[in-house]
Amino acid sequence: MVNPAAAAGTWKFGDLEVNRIGYGAMRLTGNGMMGNSDSTPIDRDVAVGLLHSAFEQGVNHIDTAAFYFSPLRSANELINRALSSWYGDVVVVTKVGPARDPSGEWLTMARPDQLRGQVEENLRQLGRDHLDVVNLRHNGPGTALVTEHFGALAELRQAGLIRNLGLSNVRPEHVAEALVIAPVVCVQNSYGLDWRRADESGLVDLCREQGIAFVPYFAVSGLRREAAAGHEYDARVRSVARAHNATPAQVRLAWTLHRGPHVLAIPGTTNPAHLAENIAAGTLRLTEEDLAILDKPREGAAWAPTGDAR
């Protein structure tokens, strides 16, 4: 079977080896979670078919969360359906910490003693006896500790409900705190060509030194975050894309992956053509000249070597 997702190589979440190109499931529920999820959601059978197509192309790592839902769709439910009719192994990574009520309103960050309930909710929705990887999503003030929350998840790992632990939206000091408690297999932060705070803080390099997977989100959308894909306005990206007969999204993904073998990608889409293009980005090899072009500052650049490192 053709396995284009393996073209960029593999990495391990603890003992679970995955291809570096994965899939982010948030868009399966609608376009984002910040008040712009009211458009007609993707048909359930179409969503399951899209996931099967990703698996057939070698994607064996999927990112989700119980709070990825819209009025008519739940990412976990769609993943459950897809995996129930799939024959291969797929690592599912989910997140806990934030929560939404049934109407979709965001709640305050869960207390440590509430995390078991969130873990069990993910287990029920995904139809699993244990979770492959659970990321603690840090939603407190930038300097808030993660010790109590991560400790609560470490207890659930000891109890067999969780196989591996990770972190999301954190600083290097949070990784250090967590490593005292239990192994950290991955870190998810916003990161990409236009948003390099994880470089400035040293987080990407720290993950490499510790053997931790660094898994950027918004690597394609960048500062547009949850917005739908639109016209590429960055002349640097367009120039490199033309040189390789590639799409701008592929260039952005390839730029991210070049940061190191421990850096993964989880682009999400509901478009089968875009899915294939995203997965094929793992075959794109940027030259030193390409990287020099992409690393040139551009007018109005939103990233700078100061400020919040998340």
Please give the positions annotated as active site. 68
User: Cβ atoms within 10 A of the Cβ of 271, count?
Assistant: 14
Residue 9: DSSP 8-state: -
Asked if residues 80 and 127 have their Cβ atoms less than 8 Å apart, the reply is: yes
Long-range contacts, 76-81 (Cβ 8 Å, 24+): 76/122, 76/125, 76/126, 77/125, 78/25, 78/28, 78/29, 78/44, 78/47, 78/48, 78/51, 79/25, 79/51, 79/126, 80/125, 80/126, 80/127, 81/44, 81/48
Residue 195, SS3? strand
Can you tell me the distance from the alpha carbon of 294 to that of 237, in angstroms, rounded to the nearest whole number? 7
Strand partners, 190: 217
Categorise residue 11: left if φ over 0, alpha if ψ from -120 to 50, beta otherwise: beta
Non-local (6+) Cβ contacts of 233 within 8 A are: none
What tokens does 166 get?
């990770």
Half-sphere CA count of 25, side-chain side, radius 13 A? 31
Asked if residues 28 and 42 have their Cβ atoms less than 8 Å apart, the reply is: yes
User: Cβ atoms within 10 A of the Cβ of 165, count?
Assistant: 24
Can you tell me the distance from the alpha carbon of 246 to that of 170, in angstroms, rounded to the nearest whole number? 32
